[in-house]
Amino acid sequence: MKASDAPTTLAPLEAYRLWAATWDFDPSAVVALEASVLTGWLGDVRGQTVVDAACGTGRWLSHLRARGASALGFDFSLPMLARAAAKADFAGGLAAADLRHLPLADRSADLVLCTLALGHVPELDSAVRELCRIVRPGGALLITDFHPDAARRGWRRTFRSGGTTFEIENYPYSKDELLTLAGRAGLELEELCEPGFGDAQREIFRAAGKEALFEQVRGLPAVLAARWKRPCG
């Protein structure tokens, strides 16, 4: 989010090294808003092979495995993966990998997730091609991210560690660019959602002492969420 004082900017790898210890416990309006969309999109995943690319501490892996999916998680941050591995239900199924180079066969997943991560990748085209590559016919790709328009409005991806606010380096792209890349990779767009903050996120702003900011940004697109399918045949 936008801050009055310019925070120190960190590369994603260093940022998530610092943030890993508290990520699960830091209330985030963006994460809450994203979850309100994605939870409704996941549907029945029983028996499916699901890949969570950029799984972080495993927040979606818990959801998926509890619902009967065979879920694999990949992330480039070893400290975030260590937090995921410490959770009892994540024995196995985790590996370090870059979004642009996933160690999986072509068309091997029924469902692929990539949540709040694409903006950290400088080569968007490489990351989108790789995510699409592993979706099998009839399978789906779900992507969420900090909304590109929010970045253009001056909002920043920030977190606090040791009493200091840091900004995570973010590489701008447009909604149209994302949609075009997935289409070129052979996927068909099923649904697009661009939610803004509402009453459900007000308390998170208030607890952070930012209720005035909430009124300024209320309703503006804060998250971009898209769902694609690979046609059968």
pLDDT tens-digit readout, 77-114: 999 999 999 886 776 799 999 999 999 999 999 999 99
Would residue 1 count as lying in a domain?
A: no
Would residue 44 count as lying in a domain?
A: yes
Would residue 190 count as lying in a domain?
A: yes
The CB-side HSE value for 68 (13 A sphere, CA atoms) comes to: 6
Instruction: Answer whether 43's CB lies under 8 Å from 51's CB.
Output: no
Would residue 207 count as lying in a domain?
A: yes
Task: Output the pTM of the full model.
Answer: 0.94
User: What CATH number is associated with residue 14?
Assistant: 3.40.50.150
pLDDT tens figures, 24-72: 999 999 999 999 999 999 989 999 999 999 999 999 998 898 899 999 9
Would residue 2 count as lying in a domain?
A: no
Predicted local confidence at residue 80, as pLDDT = 96
Instruction: Answer whether 197's CB lies under 8 Å from 29's CB.
Output: yes
Least Cα distance to 4 among 221, 220, 158 occurs for: 158
Would residue 37 count as lying in a domain?
A: yes
Q: Is the pLDDT of residue 13 over 60?
A: yes
Would residue 39 count as lying in a domain?
A: yes
Only one residue has tokens 């208030």, namely: 206
Only one residue has tokens 């469902």, namely: 111
Greater model confidence, 75 or 162: 75
Least Cα distance to 135 among 32, 53, 198, 30 occurs for: 53
Q: Is the pLDDT of residue 2 over 50?
A: no
Range of the domain at 88: 8-229
Number of structural domains (the chain) is: 1
Q: Is the dihedral of CA 1, 79, 65, 54 positive or negative?
A: positive
Mean of the per-residue pLDDT values of the chain? 93
Would residue 3 count as lying in a domain?
A: no
pLDDT tens figures, 129-159: 999 999 999 999 999 999 999 988 889 899 9
Predicted local confidence at residue 7, as pLDDT = 86
22's CB contacts (< 8 A; 6+ apart) are 161
